[in-house]
Amino acid sequence: MFTITPVQSSIKFGVKASVPISGTFDQWNATLTFASTDVTTGVLDVEIQAASVDTGSGMKNSKLKSSDFFDVANNPLITFKSTKISQTGPNTFELDGNFTIRGVTRAEQLTLTVSGVGTGTGTINGTLYFDRKDYGMNSGIPFIRIANRVEVNVALTGTRVSGPPLVFKQ
């Protein structure tokens, strides 16, 4: 099992728009657990408090928290739970998983690069792309054109707290 250190980690998002929309989530939890030393037995769980969105703009934050986008009053969590890990290179992985936002769950893929393999401490950097309209975010913001594709970037620092070292394919 690995613990994720939030102080050294971040979850960010961005979407192309006529006025750029990007930001971070300030409150979230992530766990990474393994059933054996085989890295493909891992499960990554990420739980984000949707109301902790921070774009640097109170107006954008309010709009994203509204029922037009995250609908935080009815759906306070954004989650990703991996269902399958595939190693695609010495330090790269694809995680298939269930991504939930606004109470809608769909299969999505998170691509990762891992560093610090075998040291007990490492970093995971990854990207997940999704179409906001697949999750019921069909509205816009007045006078701003917003693309449908949203990019989510995770940068997680973790430390092994139990279990043997993982075995990676080379």
CATH assignment at residue 52: 2.40.128.110
Residue 127 covered by a domain: yes
Question: How many domains in the chain?
Answer: 1
Residue 143 covered by a domain: yes
Residue 52 covered by a domain: yes
Residue 169 covered by a domain: no
Residue 167 covered by a domain: no
- Chain segment 14-51, per-residue pLDDT in tens: 999 887 889 999 999 998 888 887 888 889 999 999 99
What is the domain range of residue 33?
A: 2-160
Residue 119 covered by a domain: yes
Residue 142: predicted pLDDT = 66
d(CA 5, CA 40): 22
Residue 104 covered by a domain: yes
- Chain segment 87-135, per-residue pLDDT in tens: 999 889 999 999 999 999 999 999 999 887 667 778 899 999 999 999 9
Phi, psi of 51 (to 5 degrees): -70, -10
> 170 pLDDT exceeds 50?
no
Tokens standing for residue 129 = 């792309």
Q: What percent of the chain has pLDDT over 70?
A: 91
Residue 14: predicted pLDDT = 94
Q: If residue 61 lies in a helix (H) or strand (E), which one and from where to where? A: helix 58-65
Whole-structure pTM value: 0.89
